[in-house]
Structure 1
C-alpha cells in the first residue's frame, strides 16, 4: 500500500515556526541540511524564500493537529 504523505509544521523541532522541520520529515531528509540550504537560497534570492516560508507557516497545519484528527486530512 502506498503511504499518503502530508506536509505539516513540526513545532516540536522548530527554530522559528517548524516549516523546515516538517519539510525534512516530508522528504525524509536531514533538518540541518534543509536549514542550511534554505539560508543559502535566502542569501541568493533575497525576498522570495522568506516570503514563501512565512506563507507556509500560515497555511501548513501542525503535526499534532494531523495526528489528533487524521480523518480531516
Structure 2
C-alpha cells in the first residue's frame, strides 16, 4: 500500500506538519519536534522557511464521509477532549489505620 504524506489531524501544535511527518515515518512526534528545535537554534539551513513551505504545500487529510461522528457540524475534526465521556466512579477504599503517628 502506498503511503501519502499528510498533515496530522490529531497530533498538531501549529499546523500539523511535524506530526504528519512523524506519522509518515513512524517515529515519535516529540522526538521530531526536539530535533527541529535543535536545528532551529543551531541555525542549520532555514527551518522556519521550510516549515512554512511545508505548511502550505502539504495537503490536509481527507475527511472520511463514512464516519461522520469524527467531525462536528462545522466540518472540523473532534478532539479527544471534546468527545463526551461518562464519568468514572471512584472505588470505595477501606480505612485501615496503618499510620504510626
Q: TM-score, normalised by structure 2?
A: 0.58
1:29 aligns with 2:14: no
Task: Quote the offset at 1:11 in angstroms.
Answer: 3.0
Structure with larger Rg: 2
Uncovered stretches (5+) of structure 1, i.e. residues with no partner: 69-73
Task: Quote the offset at 1:38 in angstroms.
Answer: 0.4
Q: Structure 1 segments of 4 or more deviating over 6 A?
A: none
Q: Cα RMSD between the aligned structures?
A: 1.8
State the number of aligned residues. 65
Superposed counterparts of 1:44-59, under 5 Å:
44-45=42-43, 48-59=46-57
Whose helix proportion is higher, 1 or 2? 1
The C-alpha deviation readout for 1:14-68, integer Å capped at 9, x for no partner, is 00000000000110000100000000011112660110001000010012x2x54
Superposed counterparts of 1:1-73, under 5 Å:
3-45=1-43, 48-63=46-61, 65=62, 68=64
Uncovered stretches (5+) of structure 2, i.e. residues with no partner: 65-101
Q: TM-score, normalised by structure 1?
A: 0.78
CA distance in 2, matches of 1:54, 1:9: 13
